[in-house]
């Protein structure tokens, strides 16, 4: 066995250029695979993370998926003998009834859940003679930290300032820009009920979505309740699950229990999730193409080497080497190329990943500097190594089998050197 | 004549040995060859091109299989052996020299001679090395030990190939036109080596040639025409 490995190594080292070419093929294939897949995987994670983090996993709102029908209508369906025309849906009182009970129920169902009641109201900001419509999210400030990612997007001030100051408000950066508002300015907000109150700006956030940044604001729950004149009411429950990917099933189950509409993030952004699914298919097609080309390179080189080595194979056989031993020689070469290719290719891939991480740019017309998202998961490394090794061994095996089957007579008799 | 003793001394014996190439029109390479070769003889196989002399040599050397007939080497029937068993016999009992030296280009002269011994695995590395050195030195290649085949002349390469054929101390050496590619001086050298091997070391040498000088130097020639033995 040592002799066979010795012969394999000698042949590889002796044919420096060819060995190098096939090595470079494997190295580049592995390196590019790792870089591309980490980038694609990273951007997918990034995208989903934005989607999952920036929106509630489930929103329970004070609506019903289907408007509730009058009891009379339920009793006499439209195809019955008596038909009552012009029935309207039942008039519902606004707000979620018994939201405290629902919250208790949810906490039992998923112990890791983060849940918060919200009263969402509409209002107008009035500042320096300008009006701007605004959505008022009335929340318990501590809950804002738990169920939203606004804290990460704060550019000035913080949620903590809101906790300590009940007349504070947190607004978006776009609103601040259009109205020339600064931290510490006071603004008056008029709710749809006509009530007006003065709030002091204690924080400014910027998510990058301008409609969100101009429209949304966060306030104390009690203040919003008094502004819109609905004491002790909440009209939404925002839920963050311990596993966001359970949201669809979870929402379906709770909706059956509480009757109010449960909207999971998957349901509210179905179109985007479909886009991701298509993008994934495209990514794997591209990456597989890279690897198939690399594998074909290995096959090509080793099979050329075997053809050029027919004479040596014949002479080794005439010396008494078994077909199996000849196969081992060429298989060893494939394995060595594969191992060496991975050993250089993986660090190369990591280097690619690092340099991709250094790229920072501002998308045209954008306001934020963004970075390439890179995924450092171990899976893609394992996939790359597995593929490179399989490709090298397979690419070497086919020519090796051919080498083992060489009949010395056919080669030696010709005699051509 | 002490016929018993002579019979024991026969190292290669064939009976009705034939080789037919399959195909739409089967081609007979050799037809019903019967011959006995004694130990320590230097025998040449001669005949015109396409007469089947190389075919016969490769079958005797276990590199090709006869279609019918029997081949006995050193008292054992060869046609019933598996490929691997034949490989083992080639490794331990047979040495080959070809028209072209067929040395492995990645290995030095010394390493080329060491290869068959390493494959056999009977000796230690150090013993293998010293035996390879002795062989090369006895063939006048003292200064060429660590050269790779590219750096050797045709005659030198052929002598390295002979040393390699002798590595495992084989009973028989088969040679296919060993001087076909050499000048007259190198040819004379090879003839001399073969003669000494047969006479002083009791090696059996069977060589295909169309070189008359070479054929005359041997103990006797086997003459083939159209795959059939004409005279010995």
Average pLDDT over residues A75-101: 73
CA B196 distance to own-chain centroid: 15
DSSP letters of A307-363?
A: HHTHHHHHHHHHTT--HHHHHHHHHHHHHHHHHHHHHHHHHHHHHHHHHHHH-EE--
Give yes or no for A323 touching B (CB within 8 A): yes
Task: Determine the residue of chain B that is closest to A315 in CA distance.
Answer: B102
d(CA A223, CA A246): 34
Give yes or no for A322 touching B (CB within 8 A): yes
8 Å CB contact of B90 and A320: yes
Report the residue from B90, B99, B107 with minimal CB separation from A319: B90
Confirm if B207 and B44 have CB atoms less than 8 A apart.
yes
d(CA A304, CA B38): 44
Which has the closest alpha carbon to A95: A143, A141, A138, A134? A138
Confirm if A155 and A142 have CB atoms less than 8 A apart.
no
Helix spans in B51-183 (H):
53-60, 83-93, 109-120, 125-138, 154-166
Chain A positions in Cβ-Cβ contact with residue B63 (cut-off 8 Å): 317-318, 408-409, 412
Cβ neighbours of residue B93 under 8 Å, at least 6 residues apart?
B73, B74, B168, B170, B171, B172
Lowest mean pLDDT among A190-204, A389-403, B108-122: A389-403
8 Å CB contact of B63 and A417: no
Could you read off the pLDDT of A104-121 as tens digits, one per residue?
Answer: 888 888 888 888 889 988
Report the residue from A312, A319, A417 with minimal CB separation from B119: A319
d(CA B68, CA A306): 33
Is A26 a residue whose pLDDT tops 90? no
Residue B98 dihedral angles phi and psi, to the nearest 5°: -110, 175
Shortest alpha-carbon distance between residue A15 and chain B (Å)? 9
Is A415 a residue whose pLDDT tops 60? no
CA B140 distance to own-chain centroid: 21
d(CA B66, CA B16): 10
Is B177 a residue whose pLDDT tops 80? yes
Region for A320 from its dihedrals, namely left if φ exceeds 0, alpha if ψ lies in -120 to 50, beta otherwise: left
8 Å CB contact of B83 and A14: no
The answer to whether the predicted template modeling score (pTM) of the entire model surpasses 0.90 is no
Chain A positions in Cβ-Cβ contact with residue B170 (cut-off 8 Å): none
Q: Where is pLDDT greater, at B106 or A79? A: B106
Tokens found for residue A304: 């050329």
Q: How many residues does chain B have?
A: 232
Tokens found for residue A372: 């390439």
DSSP letters of A52-88?
A: HHHS-SEEEES--SSPPPPHHHHHS-TTSSS---S--
Could you read off the pLDDT of B129-159 as tens digits, one per residue?
Answer: 999 999 999 888 999 999 999 999 988 999 9
């Amino acid at each position: 066995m040592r002799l066979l490995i010795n012969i394999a190594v000698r042949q590889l080292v002796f044919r420096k250029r060819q060995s190098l070419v096939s090595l470079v093929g494997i190295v580049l294939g592995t390196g590019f695979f790792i870089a591309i897949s980490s980038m694609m995987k990273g951007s997918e994670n990034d995208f989903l993370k934005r989607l999952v983090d920036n929106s509630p996993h489930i929103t329970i709102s004070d609506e019903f998926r289907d408007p509730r029908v009058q009891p009379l209508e339920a009793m006499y369906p439209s195809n019955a003998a008596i038909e009552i025309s012009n029935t309207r849906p039942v008039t519902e009182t606004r707000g979620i009834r018994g939201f405290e009970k629902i919250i208790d129920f949810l906490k039992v169902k998923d112990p890791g859940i983060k849940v918060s009641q919200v009263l969402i109201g509409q209002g107008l900001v009035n500042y320096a003679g300008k009006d701007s419509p605004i959505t008022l999210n009335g929340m318990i400030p501590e809950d804002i930290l738990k169920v939203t990612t606004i804290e990460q997007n704060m550019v000035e001030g913080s949620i903590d300032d809101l906790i300590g100051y009940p007349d504070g408000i947190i607004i978006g950066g776009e609103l601040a820009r259009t109205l020339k508002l600064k931290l510490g300015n006071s603004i008056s907000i008029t709710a749809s009920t006509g009530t007006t109150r003065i709030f002091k700006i204690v924080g400014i956030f910027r998510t990058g979505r301008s409609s969100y940044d101009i429209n949304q604001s966060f306030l104390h729950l009690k203040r919003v309740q008094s502004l819109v004149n609905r004491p002790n009411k909440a009209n939404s429950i925002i839920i963050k699950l311990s596993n966001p990917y359970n949201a669809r099933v979870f929402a379906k189950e709770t909706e059956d229990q509480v009757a109010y509409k449960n909207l999971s993030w998957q349901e509210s952004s179905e179109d985007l999730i479909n886009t991701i699914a298509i993008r994934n298919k495209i990514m794997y097609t591209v990456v597989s193409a890279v690897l198939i080309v690399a594998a074909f390179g290995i096959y090509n080189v080793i099979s050329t080497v075997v053809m050029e080595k027919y004479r040596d194979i014949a002479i080794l056989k005439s010396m008494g080497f078994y077909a199996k031993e000849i196969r081992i020689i060429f298989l060893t070469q494939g394995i060595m190329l594969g191992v060496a290719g991975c050993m250089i290719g993986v660090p190369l891939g990591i280097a690619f990943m690092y340099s991709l991480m250094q790229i920072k740019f501002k998308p045209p017309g954008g306001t934020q500097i963004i970075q390439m998202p890179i995924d450092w998961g171990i899976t893609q490394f394992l996939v790359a190594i597995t593929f490179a090794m399989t490709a090298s061994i397979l690419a070497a095996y086919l020519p090796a089998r051919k080498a083992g089957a060489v009949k010395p007579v056919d080669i030696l008799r010709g005699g051509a050197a | 004549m002490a016929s018993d003793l002579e019979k024991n001394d026969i190292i290669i014996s064939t009976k009705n040995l034939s080789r037919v190439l399959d195909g739409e029109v089967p081609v007979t390479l050799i037809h019903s060859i019967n011959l006995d070769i004694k130990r320590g003889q230097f025998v040449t196989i001669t005949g015109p091109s396409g007469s089947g002399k190389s075919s016969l040599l490769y079958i005797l050397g276990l590199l090709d299989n006869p279609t019918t007939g029997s081949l006995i080497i050193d008292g054992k029937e060869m046609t019933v052996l598996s490929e691997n068993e034949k490989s083992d016999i080639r490794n331990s009992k047979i040495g080959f020299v070809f028209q072209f030296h067929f040395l492995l280009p990645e290995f030095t002269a010394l390493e080329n001679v060491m290869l068959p011994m390493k494959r056999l695995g009977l000796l230690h590395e150090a013993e293998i090395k010293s035996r390879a050195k002795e062989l090369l030195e006895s063939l006048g290649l003292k200064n060429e030990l660590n050269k790779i085949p590219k750096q050797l002349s045709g005659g030198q390469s052929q002598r390295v190939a002979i040393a390699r054929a002798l590595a495992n101390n084989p009973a028989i050496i088969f040679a296919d036109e060993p001087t076909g590619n050499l000048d007259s001086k190198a040819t004379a050298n090879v003839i001399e080596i073969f003669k000494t091997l047969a006479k002083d070391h009791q090696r059996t040498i069977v060589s295909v040639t169309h070189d008359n000088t070479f054929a005359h130097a041997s103990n006797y020639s086997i003459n083939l025409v159209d795959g059939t033995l004409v005279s010995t």
